[in-house]
A and B are shown apart, each in its own frame.
Chain A
Amino acid sequence: GQQLNQSPQSMFIQEGEDVSMNCTSSSIFNTWLWYKQDPGEGPVLLIALYKAGELTSNGRLTAQFGITRKDSFLNISASIPSDVGIYFCAGPPNTGTASKLTFGTGTRLQVTL
């Protein structure tokens, strides 16, 4: 099946720094989603991308749909302590039920003051 690999696996950054993370797949995705999961909670949708090359922002977050359709990137500018959590990319498979999502392995972000 389709797999999504995220890097880095984890990162420690200082408050105020910018963060970049990416998600790659061995096969094409037609939709990319980025979620954030806080400890003990369910994932919350941050950004959805529907078109190759698309660049979308949500506050301090910016995500891009790679032109090969096999990758996506998430940037967080001027990080703050509440950015701590696990960031997952996700997308629906090209075959089977359109509503089923494949999730990436996650990037754990920790912010130090």
Chain B
Amino acid sequence: NAGVMQNPRHLVRRRGQEARLRCSPMKGHSHVYWYRQLPEEGLKFMVYLQKENIIDESGMPKERFSAEFPKEGPSILRIQQVVRGDSAAYFCASSRRGSDYGYTFGSGTRLTVV
């Protein structure tokens, strides 16, 4: 019974490149959440998705960031034309229902922009 799987665990990108972060939710979970954690800070909500729908993207930067959760396959967080300030740990979480606050987090993807 695998937990939330994120890959890659570590990602290094040069400024201007694209970063694609993947998240496979727990089996039976159809709700996915993405959070960002800057060094020495708490997690900040980015986006909440259900299969094929974005429910709440109020925490997503207006430009360069996008997220999807297709009918088949993992959820993808995409960052275009990365800048140094995008360096952070990105965590995905999943839940069975939208009202399950205590959802399960993955181990994160640590993005470093050089």
Residues of A at the B interface (CB closer than 8 Å) are 4, 31, 33, 40-45, 48, 88, 90-92, 96-106
Q: Which residues of B contact A100 (CB under 8 A)?
A: 33, 45, 48, 56, 58-59
| Contact yes or no, B98 A99, CB < 8 A | yes
What is the CA–CA distance of A48 and B56 in the complex, to the nearest angstrom? 23
| Cross-chain pair count, CB within 8 angstroms | 69
Ordered by A's residue number, 30 sampled pairs between the chains whose C-beta atoms are within 8 Å are: A31-B101, A33-B101, A41-B107, A42-B91, A42-B93, A42-B105, A42-B106, A43-B105, A44-B105, A45-B103, A45-B104, A48-B101, A88-B42, A90-B43, A97-B56, A98-B99, A98-B101, A99-B48, A99-B55, A99-B100, A99-B101, A100-B33, A100-B56, A100-B59, A101-B35, A101-B45, A101-B101, A102-B45, A104-B42, A105-B41
What is the CA–CA distance of A48 and B102 in the complex, to the nearest angstrom? 7
| Contact yes or no, B107 A40, CB < 8 A | yes
What is the CA–CA distance of A10 and B83 in the complex, to the nearest angstrom? 30
| Contact yes or no, A88 B101, CB < 8 A | no
Q: Which of A43, A44, A88 has the most CB of B within 10 A?
A: A43
What is the CA–CA distance of A84 and B11 in the complex, to the nearest angstrom? 26
Report the minimal beta-carbon distance from A52 to chain B, rounded to whole angstroms. Answer: 16
- Given the known inter-chain contacts A104-B42, A105-B42, please indicate yes or no for A97 contacting B55, CB distance below 8 A: yes
